[in-house]
Structure 1
Amino acid sequence: VSSYLFTCALTGYSLTTVSNKCIVDAAHIHERRDSKNDDPRNGLALSKNAHWMFDEGLWSVTNELKIIVAEKAFTDWSPEGFSLRNYHGRSLFFQRGCALRPDPKYITWHREHCFLG
């Protein structure tokens, strides 16, 4: 998570407590239980909600690092107007100074095996 500067790649949100706990998880792109792979380029920093939605296949990423959303695979509602659909077509968010990027082979695996769109 520190390699991605503690920032969610979907939303750009970052929150760290004074005791140094952060809201983002290190999420495997190609599931670890299948790949046994802890390569940092097989991961994204994602907030808890974004991580769950990614694992469920509700969104994925193109090889150009654009977000794609499986719009017909879910319904959602939020009083604040948050919708996963709003992220479709946007680029993944990376903090300035963050050089690490996901490897296209892992992104391709996620699209082909997990994405519901």
Structure 2
Amino acid sequence: MKPVKDRGPDSVRNGVALSRTVHWMFDRGLLSIDDDFRLLQAKPLLPEGVDRLFHPSGYIHVPDTARDQPSRAFLRWHRDNCYKG
């Protein structure tokens, strides 16, 4: 997602609800999310066993309504500018 400090909007579509630990990894580019809402992991940079924090399907849970889901444009920005995988 695009941080507000980088001119990202302060909106629901530019955010995801994450636990504190997962948020820390996401902010540092160790995790990201693809356009189908599948969690991407920079595996060589993550500690062993961290996958226990994630849903076994490999996908994040998103609202059913498209207008409430994370914006694919902001997810792409995060992958292109933050993700280290």
Bucket of the pairwise TM-score, normalised by the shorter protein: 0.7 to 0.9
Structure 1 equivalent of residue 51 of structure 2: 84
1:69 to 32, 41, 53: 41
Whole-Å separation in 1 of the counterparts to 2:11 and 2:31? 21
Q: TM-score by structure 1 length?
A: 0.61
Can you give the 5+ residue segments of structure 1 that lack an aligned partner in the other structure? Answer: 1-28
Regions of 4+ moved over 6 Å: none
Matches within 5 A, 1:39-54: 39-54=11-26
1:76-100 deviations in Å (ceiling 9; x for gaps)? 25xxxx5137748611124xx6532
Can you give the 5+ residue segments of structure 2 that lack an aligned partner in the other structure? Answer: none
Q: TM-score by structure 2 length?
A: 0.81
Shift in Å, 1:69:
0.3
* 1:110 is the counterpart of 2:75: no
What's the secondary structure of 1:60's corresponding residue?
A: strand
More strand by share: 1
Higher relative contact order (CA 8 A, sep 6+): 2
Structure 2 equivalent of residue 35 of structure 1: 7
Which protein shows a greater Rg? 1
More helix by share: 2
User: Aligned residues, how many?
Assistant: 82
